[in-house]
Structure 1
Amino acid sequence: MSILYDEGQQAIATESRRALEARMRKDDLLPLLEVTGRFHEGFWTMAKEQGWTALALPEAYGGLDLGLIELGLIAHQAGRTLSGAPFLTSSFGAAKAIELYGSDAQKARWLPGLAGGDTIGAVAFASGADALPVKPGITFVGDRLDGTLTGVSAAGAANVAVVLAMGADGPVLAIADLTNAERRIVPSFDNSRCVADLHFKETPAEALTAGGSARDAALHILALQAVITAHEQTGGAEALMEIARDYAITRRAFGQVIGAFQSVKHRIAELYGLVELARANCIHAASREGQDDFITAAAAARLSATEAYDTAARDCVQIHGGIGVTWEIGLHLHMRRSRSLAIEQGNSLFWEDVMVDRLAGEAA
């Protein structure tokens, strides 16, 4: 596809930005840092009302049958305004796993609720620091899950989870109803991510038919989520770049605006370059869904977006000086979010390994 968005996609971006900027407030997000198990309900209500939860799912199950490009545009704007819940990504990942690898009965049971947003999904593949373990830490035997999954984003509020477990013949993807599951909310530096440990003890679950390697299927789901997360990271980096720019052209020191100093103007110029590289990688990755190079493109988007958001969070605080670290100005919200997103769906080391493996395979 073109590296530019078409008219309809631009309209999605414009309207989602308008809606989010009208209803997302820093003062609503700050209190969430001091409590666990809560998210910004206003954001999630708006996501459901706007149909964002249904955007990339099939019409047959209540979706709008669009794709990664359109959902990525929403995620980008959510990143700009610091969305107060992780569910656009986590529910999308769970829904795509069920859509791609579930039975007709599983699709009929779960997809309408996920499309409507009344059901919240989580994706739990990691075992400790390993984003995609060769031998998962939980077992799936006799349609029962046993074991503990730690630090699962969105698990504190999720109704259903797609997990990677060790079956009798190797790794398997399974879907578990979390209604009666034991979960422990994990306090974190970004509590609105609703991170929790999931404890399974003979918990009923159903296998998904991956049609091949369960780890390959899990990697594909991670890549889909990574593209959405990369859009969110790019949106956050873009917002920080603009905040830094606006401050630099109004704050004065030594008789001139601080933006006149090379150490400041060069940082903002570098942020612009990082944001545009990340944006281009995100568009390219979203457009490659279903193609042979999709995983490679997703890894590139994830890596460039992580660098852009991390750098922007750090440099924006630095440009603001002492006021940048105060609670009231709220730049720490972006700093916290940049670090949270950097480790969800696998950290940079994981995606670097994925990219190297893919490129090495193509070279061979």
Structure 2
Amino acid sequence: MSILYDEGQQAIATESRRALEARVSKDDLLPLLDARGQYHKGFWTTAKEQGWTALALPEAFGGLALGLVELGLIAHQAGRTLSGAPFLTSSFGAAKAIEHYGTEAQQSRWLPGLASGDTIGAVAFAAGPDPLPAVPGLVLQDAGVRGTAFAVSGGLFADIAVVLADEGGSPALAIVDLAGTERHAIETFDNSRCIADLVLANAPADILVTGGRARAAALHILALQAVVTAHEQTGGAEALMEIARDYAVTRKAFGQPIGAFQSIKHRIAELYGLVELARANAIHAAAREGVDDFLVAAAAARLSATEAYDTAARDCIQIHGGIGVTWEAGLHLHMRRARTLALEQGSSLFWEDVLVDQLAGENA
């Protein structure tokens, strides 16, 4: 695929940006930082109304049968506006696990609700800081899962979770119904991500895949989510680059715009380069879904997008000077989101290892 969008995809980008800029504002997002266990309900309502929750799912289950490229467009615009709900990514990951690895009965039971947005999904593979542990932290026995799933994005409101569990010494990927599950909200830099520890006490589970395929399936689901997150990070970095540019051409010092100084103009130019590299990698990764080199492309997209968003968040605040660190300016919202997204679906260290392992395997 070309790294340029076609006319239909450009229309998706334009309309999603228009809808989000009309319904999401800084004034909506700032109060969420002081409240634990809340998210931006306006964004999630918009996502359901616009059909974004159904975008990349099969028509047979209420989806629109588009792909990761189109969902990436929505995620990009969500990143630009700092939309305050993680469920677009987490529900997509859970739905894709069921679509790719579930039986027809499992698909019929869960996918329609995920497509409509009435069911919220989460992906819970981590054991401590490791997003994909060699030995799962959960135990699956007698169709029930026990243990604690740590720091699950969207876990505070999820109806189901796709988990990686140990079944008699072998990994298993399973769907867990979270009704009645004990949840402990985690105070984070960005409380709108609704991160929680899920305490599973023999929670009813429906197995998707077991044995050697389970861990590979889990990595594939993480990679799909990482590509969506990479688009979201790229959108945030792009917005910050534009904010820094606009401020630099209006704010004056020593009788001229601060953008005339090399230290400022070079920094903004470097941000432009990082954003465009991240954008190209994200589009390429989305287009490689289902191809042998998808994991390589996903890891590259994740790494470049994390660098772009982290750098943009830091540099934009520095370009603004003292006003950049005030509550009212709202730039800290991007800094918080950049740091949070850098850890969801695994840190840069994890994806560097994935990239090296994949490249080493290709060259073996």
TM range (shorter): over 0.9
Q: Which residue of 1 aligns with 2:237?
A: 237
CA deviation string 1:62-98 (max 9, x = no partner): 0000000000000000000001100110000000001
- Correspondence 1:146 to 2:146: yes
Per the alignment, in what secondary structure is the counterpart of residue 316 of structure 2? helix
Q: Which residue of 1 aligns with 2:155?
A: 155
CA deviation string 1:258-314 (max 9, x = no partner): 000000000000000000000000010000000000000000000000000000000
Q: Which residue of 2 aligns with 1:185?
A: 185
- 1-structure distance, mates of 2:143, 2:168: 11
CA contact (8 A) 1:101 1:210 kept: no
- Correspondence 1:94 to 2:97: no
- Correspondence 1:46 to 2:34: no
CA contact (8 A) 1:103 1:209 kept: no
| AA at the equivalent of 1:260 | A
CA deviation string 1:121-157 (max 9, x = no partner): 0000111011110101110011111111111100001
What does 1:116-155 align with in structure 2 at a 5 Å threshold?
116-155=116-155
Q: Which residue of 2 aligns with 1:353?
A: 353
Q: Which residue of 2 aligns with 1:330?
A: 330
- 2-structure distance, mates of 1:202, 1:42: 34
CA deviation string 1:168-213 (max 9, x = no partner): 1411001111111111111111000000000011111111136852
- 2-structure distance, mates of 1:102, 1:169: 22
Per the alignment, in what secondary structure is the counterpart of residue 235 of structure 2? helix
What does 1:1-364 align with in structure 2 at a 5 Å threshold?
1-209=1-209, 212-364=212-364
Structure 1: 4+ residue segments shifted above 2 A: 209-212
CA contact (8 A) 1:101 1:211 kept: no
- 2-structure distance, mates of 1:246, 1:135: 49
- 1-structure distance, mates of 2:305, 2:5: 19
Unaligned runs of 5+ in 1: none
| AA at the equivalent of 2:216 | D
- 2-structure distance, mates of 1:180, 1:75: 31
- 1-structure distance, mates of 2:210, 2:348: 26
- 2-structure distance, mates of 1:338, 1:359: 27
Per the alignment, in what secondary structure is the counterpart of residue 208 of structure 1? strand
Aligned length: 364
Per the alignment, in what secondary structure is the counterpart of residue 12 of structure 2? helix
Per the alignment, in what secondary structure is the counterpart of residue 188 of structure 2? coil
- 2-structure distance, mates of 1:286, 1:339: 23
Identity of aligned residues (%): 76
CA contact (8 A) 2:170 2:211 kept: no
CA contact (8 A) 2:170 2:210 kept: no
CA contact (8 A) 1:299 1:351 kept: yes
- 2-structure distance, mates of 1:58, 1:212: 27
- 2-structure distance, mates of 1:228, 1:68: 8
Query: TM-score, normalized by length of structure 2?
Result: 0.99
Mean alpha-carbon deviation: is it higher for 179-188 or for 44-53?
179-188
- 2-structure distance, mates of 1:345, 1:210: 21
CA contact (8 A) 1:310 1:339 kept: yes
CA deviation string 1:17-41 (max 9, x = no partner): 0111111110000000001111000
Per the alignment, in what secondary structure is the counterpart of residue 213 of structure 1? helix
Mean alpha-carbon deviation: is it higher for 16-25 or for 306-315?
16-25
Per the alignment, in what secondary structure is the counterpart of residue 209 of structure 2? coil
Per the alignment, in what secondary structure is the counterpart of residue 307 of structure 1? helix
Question: What RMSD, in angstroms, separates the aligned Cα atoms of the two structures?
Answer: 0.8
CA deviation string 1:305-333 (max 9, x = no partner): 00000000000000000000000010000
CA contact (8 A) 1:186 1:197 kept: yes
- 1-structure distance, mates of 2:81, 2:288: 27
CA contact (8 A) 1:300 1:355 kept: yes
| AA at the equivalent of 1:183 | R
